[in-house]
Amino acid sequence: MSAYSPAFRAHLESECTTLCHCWRVTRRDGQSFGFTDHDRALTVDGFAYEPQSGFATSEARASLGMAADAVDVEGALSSDVIAEDDIAGGLFDGATVQTLLVNWQTPAQFASIRRAVIGKIVRTDGRFVAELESVAASLDRPNGRYLRRTCDARLGDARCGVNMSAGALNGRGAVVQQTAPATIRVSGLGGFAAGWFSFGEISWTGGALQGRSAIVVDHRIASEGVLIALPADEAMPGPGDTFSIVAGCDKQFATCKAKFSNPVNFRGFPHLPGNDAAYGYVTGGGQFDGGPIVE
């Protein structure tokens, strides 16, 4: 069944057309935004699309076979709903983008021509370029499990089984000051050992970054107090901003056993033989009875 209505198809076949593109962006948190490259606002299928004359799209490709297609959407950060800090914070990463072809004179005539996912956003000079990946792009990503020594579960999920609501795994505090480009001194975590929150997650509960989360790169105790290191490209909080933080896991079997008492649920293969065992061969004096390499 064609996605084009008879009236819209007749318009496309006419000598003069009045067409534009509309994009409906749905973030992973459920918020949706509408944009169009037309010069006035449009309402299509009950959803509003605001005009952004600075938008432009690259050539779209639809390839046969297993190739992953992509198209770029470029525009200025002129919309109130597109904040550079939101892009930097990753709020638009993985968002779904539905592209519509619309007759702007009669918006009831439209067709959905593409559904894609935002794969990469590049920002420069107040502009952004969002790469829209087709569904086939997921075939280029690793799927399934790998045989490796480290755990592939997320701390606290159903496969891990650790109760993250336990008080010893959670902390709260406030930012005292920024001591380095990606390091902050905090209060409220004095009762925890150094490294306890490394690889954990910090969520901002107050301040300009409220509602956002970030990975904790490092948690250490120095002469000036407790320090938390964040990713270099992460937006930094200000003094007085409050946060909650959960313990981290480095995915090692020893950590799972000593820190969380959870070795039975470890989802890695800590006793996986190394290259020496894999490439070994029979030699005199060796024991080759089929028994386990590691007890």
The backbone torsions φ and ψ at residue 215, rounded to the nearest 5 degrees and listed phi first, read: -80, 140
Alpha helices in the chain (DSSP H): 6-12, 84-88, 253-260, 275-278
Q: Name the token pair of 88.
A: 């930097």
Q: Which residues contact 18 (CB under 8 A, 6 or more apart)?
A: 11, 103, 104, 105
Whole-number Å distance between alpha carbons of 196 and 201? 11
pTM: 0.56
Q: Which of 62-71, 197-206, 286-295 has the highest mean pLDDT?
A: 197-206
Q: In the CATH hierarchy, which fold is given to the domain comprising 6-140?
A: Thrombin, subunit H (2.40.10)
Measured in Å, how far apart are the chain's first and last C-alpha atoms? Answer: 62
At 216-264, the pLDDT tens digits run 999 999 999 999 999 988 889 999 999 999 999 999 999 999 999 999 9
The backbone torsions φ and ψ at residue 51, rounded to the nearest 5 degrees and listed phi first, read: -75, 135
Domain extents in the chain = 6-140, 147-295
> How far is the CA of 114 from the CAs of 3, 60, 95, 151, 168, in angstroms?
11, 10, 14, 37, 48
Nearest to 72 by CA among 121, 107, 136: 121
Tell me the residue type at 96.
T
More confident residue, 278 or 146: 146
